[in-house]
Amino acid sequence: MKIRNNIAISDSGFVFDSNNGESFTLNKIGLEILQMLKNSRTEEEITQKIVKKYDVDIETFEQNYFDFVGMLRHFNLFENESF
């Protein structure tokens, strides 16, 4: 699972896909996660980090993470994956 190279993530939470000109907004945690994904962090590493930093249990976060990644996939931000 790798974020495509042409995805520019700005510190404000603005995401620009230079391939097709689409743009997106992220909230703060969304921004943190996307940056970690961009740096090739694994799901476990991300979960650990978020659960340690924020007031959330692993189960809830896993559900939300799954949903978030689903949206990233829906918006076509990952490099081609084979299922």
Partner 1 sequence: MKKIQLTIGVTGLNNTDNPGPGIPVIRALRDSHDFELRIIGLAYENLEPGIYMKDLVDKTYQIPYPSIGEKDFIQRLEYINNKENLDIIIPNFDAELHTFMKSKEHLESIGIKTYLPTFKQFEERDKTNLPGYGEKYEIKVPFSKPVVSYADIDNLEKNFDYPVLVKGKFYDAYIAYNKEQVITHFNKISAKWGVPVIVQEFIRGTEVNMVALGDGEGNTIAAVPMRKQYITDKGKAWGGITIGDEELLKLTTKLIKETKWRGGMEIEMIKNAKGDYYLIEINPRIPAWVYLAVAAGQNIPEALVKLALGKKVPPFKSYEIGKMFIRYSYDMIGDIAQFEKLSMSGEL
Partner 2 sequence: MKKLKYERPIINKIQSGMPDKFGMSTRVQTISDVEGIPVVNIIKNYGSPTFVLSEQTIRDTYQEAREAFTTRYPKVQFAWSYKTNYLNAVCKIFHSEGSWAEVVSGFEYDKAIDNGVKGAHIIFNGPDKSDEYLAKSIENDSFIHIDHFDEFYSLIRIAAKSSKKAKVAIRVNMDTGIYPQWDRFGFNYENGDAWNVLNKIMLSKDLELVGLHTHIGTYILTPNAYGVAASKLAELAVRVYRKFNYVISYIDMGGGFASKNTLKGAYLPGKDTCPTFDDYAESITNALINSEIQPENLPTLILETGRALIDDAGYLVGTVLANKRLVSSRRATIIDIGVNLLFTSFWYEHEVYPVKEVSEQTEDTTIYGPLCMNIDVIREVIKFPLLQKGDPVIIPRVGAYNMTQWMQFITLRPNIILIDTSKNIHVIREEETNEVFSRQEKLPEHLS
Interacting residue ranges for partner 1, rule: CB under 8 A: 10, 12-14, 16, 23, 25
Under the binding rule (CB under 8 A), the answer on residue 12 touching partner 2 is no
**Shortest distance in whole angstroms from residue 41 CB to partner 1:** 24
Give the three-class secondary structure for 5. coil
Under the binding rule (CB under 8 A), the answer on residue 78 touching partner 2 is no
**Shortest distance in whole angstroms from residue 80 CB to partner 2:** 19
> How far, in Å, are 11, 31, 38, 46, 79 from residue 27 at the CA level?
11, 6, 16, 16, 22
> CB neighbours of 10 closer than 8 A, spacing ≥ 6?
16
Cα dihedral value 36, 43, 31, 4, nearest 10 = 70
**Shortest distance in whole angstroms from residue 30 CB to partner 2:** 4
Under the binding rule (CB under 8 A), the answer on residue 36 touching partner 2 is no
**CB closer to partner 2, 21 vs 81:** 21
